[in-house]
Chain A
């Protein structure tokens, strides 16, 4: 079974068009394709995949791949 981290990285790769990503953890600023349009799409797909709900404030705090993993794991534990 895939870990949350593996699932998140796979999701990121899919949404960002399959481009090579830096080694995890990495920051948004390290990936040019992770723009504001894709950021919103990533959140949308993350909510769908994991059945969680992310607020605008939480989304604004996402600076990189580890924040996404933490957000999913935190939402699951808090559920």
Chain B
């Protein structure tokens, strides 16, 4: 949907995705080292444009570009499938080595729990993506589900692990992300000043 939510902190900003971001998103999702853990992306850029055009018409779907404060795009993140105060988050794809993971996750939780007032947020991660599973564990999220053959990537079924964050856990999650986000903020500032 065409939302207007922008948040920033720790040297990172989440802003609404625009149609002009299509080429960046398409290139990002087709980065070989990232593509193995995310849903298949059509090689045609026009399909990404079409997908975004449909997204703009869809209610309850908040898709963001993650960027530096100087507007350099670093990745994407989204909140969607909203029902009765519960939603999924994902589409979390960041340029390799950009250090924006803690800040982008923290800002996304802020949007979910402080702005959208959600009571529960869940995410689904490919079982083999052990580093991201560990990231969610260390944030303090509980593993609440297992979906056998939950997604299809590169013509193969993959199992998914579900993590859930509840609104009452937001303060704990924020604390668990804070140190790492501060560390990354210094590097983002150093890179911006070069």
Contact = CB atoms under 8 A, between A and B. Distances in A.
A59 B98 CA distance: 11
B162 interface: no
Interface residues of B, number: 24
27 contacts: A32-B134, A33-B137, A35-B132, A35-B134, A35-B135, A36-B99, A36-B101, A36-B180, A37-B101, A37-B138, A37-B139, A37-B176, A37-B177, A37-B180, A38-B138, A38-B180, A40-B99, A40-B102, A40-B179, A40-B180, A40-B183, A40-B184, A43-B183, A44-B179, A56-B99, A56-B190, A60-B97
Given A37-B177, A56-B191, A44 B183 contact: yes
Interface of B: 97, 99, 101-102, 130-135, 137-139, 176-177, 179-184, 187, 190-191
Interface of A: 32-38, 40-41, 43-44, 55-56, 59-60
A32 B176 CA distance: 18
Contacts of B102: 36-37, 40
Nearest to B134: A35
Contacts of A35: 131-132, 134-135, 138
By secondary structure, the A interface counts as helix
Nearest to B100: A36
A44 B182 contact: yes
A35 B102 CA distance: 11
B48 to A, nearest CB: 26
B187 A36 contact: no
Contacts of A33: 134, 137-138
Contacts of B182: 44
A36 B184 CA distance: 10
A16 to B, nearest CB: 9
